[in-house]
Structure 1
Amino acid sequence: MIGLVRAELQKVFTTRMVWGMLALSLGFTLIGLVVLGVFAGQQGTPPLTEPDGALTLFSQAGSGLVFSFVIGTLLITGEYRFQTITHTFLATPRRERVVAAKLIACAAVGAIFGLAGTLLAFAVGVPAILIRGGSLSVIGGDVVRLCAGVVAAMALYTILGLALGSLLRNQIAAIVIGVGWVYVLENLLVVLLPGVGKWLPGGAAQAVYGLSSPMGGDYLPAWAGAALLLGYALLFAAIASATTIRRDIT
């Protein structure tokens, strides 16, 4: 199994695609950090010198969430598109081992995306707080929990992308549907119907981040959000496994 995971990771990181997606993810994160750093303390937003302001700033570490989803989709649909999945299954006939290796590799890639966004948030956020006259004391346990939630959410959404790509196989359709869900439908439900949205992956991620709902609703407790994220990860993994193991690959 270790060899299969290593092989999957090697396939991922020897392609320019993953580095391009990582660059886009970090670019979105940087834009969010700069905008919040400049306008913090204005129009009702908390200043960076307060814990709530620091928490809001560091939440931008997850701005590239959609790109972790897209990379998960591309990793599996690309194999179907170029028929490299056939060679993979010929080399390892036990498909469940291949699927498990892909899931682990995808989760690792998503976690790396989340970790990179978190490091960028610290690289930009710490100087921004100090320049505004704040102290590092505003970066407490809530920020650490938020950053851990970002890493977990990125890993989850990469698995979601893999599952959707396994189900649809069509690269363009999977990306359009997934991006529409992450950017449009899920965001609308989380913001406008928090009673519904808090049970979705995005709402669970917000709960783990420790952020408050912009519409005044309540997210789940952090531990419940983490459990819900784990449940979604297991569900998506099961979907990816079922659609990949049972289908004809030709």
Structure 2
Amino acid sequence: MIRLVKAELQKVFTTRMVWGMLALSLAFTAIGVVVLSIFSGQQGTTPLTESAGVLNLFSQAGVGLVFAFVIGTLLITGEYRFQTITHTFLVTPRRARVIAAKLLACSVVGVFFGLAGIVLAFALGIPAILLKGGSLSLIGGDVARLCVGVVAAMALYTILGLALGSLLRNQVAAIVVGIGWVYVLESLLVALLPSVGKWLPGGAAQAVYGLSSPLGGDYLPAWGGAALLIGYALIFAAVASVTTLRRDIT
């Protein structure tokens, strides 16, 4: 199993796509941190001298969820696109082992994306807090919980990408559907209808982050959001496994 996971990780990290997605994810994080730093305390935004403002600032570490999703999608759809899936299953006939290795590899990639986003958010956010007159004492348990949530959400979305890719198989279709869901439908439901959106993966991530709804609605408690994220991860993993185990590979 360890060899299979290493092989899957090698497939990912030796392609330009993963580094391109990571660069885009970090770019979104950097833009978010810079914009919030500039406009903090203006036009009703929470200043960086308050814990809520600091939490919002560091939450930008998780804005690149869609790019983690895309990598999860590519990990499976790329195999079908270039017909390497046949060779993969010939080398390892037990498909369950292959899927388990891909799921573990997805989780590792998601954790990597999450940690990279957190490092960048701290590198840009700490100087911004100090320049705005804030204190490092504001970086406490809530920020630590947010960091754990960012890593968990990134891992979840890579697994989601793998599950959707295993269902659709078509790389372009899976990416388009996934981006439309993350950036359009889910984002709108989480922001505008928190009573519905809180039960979605994005709403669960917001709950773990410890953020509040922009419209004043309530998200789940942190433990509830964490439990929901784990539940989604298990469901997505099951979908990826069942669809790949039962289908023909050609």
- What range describes the TM-score normalised by the shorter chain of this pair? over 0.9
1:135 aligned residue: 135
What does the per-residue CA deviation read over 1:76-101, in whole Å, with 9 as the maximum and x for residues that have no partner?
11110001111110000000000000
Q: Structure 1, unaligned stretches of length 5 or more?
A: none
Alignment of 1:192-231 (within 5 A): 192-231=192-231
Say whether 1:242 aligns with 2:242.
Answer: yes
CA distance in 1, matches of 2:15, 2:119: 23
Deviation at 1:135, TM superposition (A): 1.4
**Which consecutive unaligned segments of at least 5 residues does structure 2 have?**
none
SS of the residue 1:207 aligns to? helix
Q: Counterparts of 1:131 and 1:221 in 2: how far apart (Å)?
A: 32
Q: Which aligned runs of 4 or more in structure 1 are off by greater than 6 angstroms?
A: none
Distance in 2 of aligned mates of 1:208 and 1:134: 24
Letter in 1 for 2:20: G
CA deviations over 1:132-178 (Å, ceiling 9, x no partner):
12210011100110011001000000000000000000111111111
Q: Give the equivalent residue in structure 2 for 1:170.
A: 170
Cα distance between partner residues in 2 of 1:47 and 1:95:
52
Give a deviation string over 1:187-241, Cα, whole Å, max 9, x none. Answer: 1111111111100000000000000011111000000100000000000000000
Matched residue of 1:213: which SS? coil
Who is 2:100 aligned against?
A: 100
Aligned residue pairs, count: 250
**Structure-to-structure mapping, 1:84-163, within 5 angstroms:** 84-163=84-163
**Alpha-carbon distance in 2 for matches of 1:194, 1:8:** 37
Please say if 1:185 is aligned against 2:175.
no
Corresponding residue SS for 1:48: coil
Instruction: Name the structure 2 match of 1:9.
Output: 9
Q: Distance in 1 between matches of 2:187 and 2:7?
A: 35
Identity across the alignment (%): 82
User: 1: CA distance between counterparts of 2:240 and 2:218?
Assistant: 32
SS in 1 for 2:93: coil
Shift of 1:4: 0.7
> Which AA in structure 1 matches 2:242?
A
Whole-angstrom distance in 2 between the partners of 1:200 and 1:100: 24
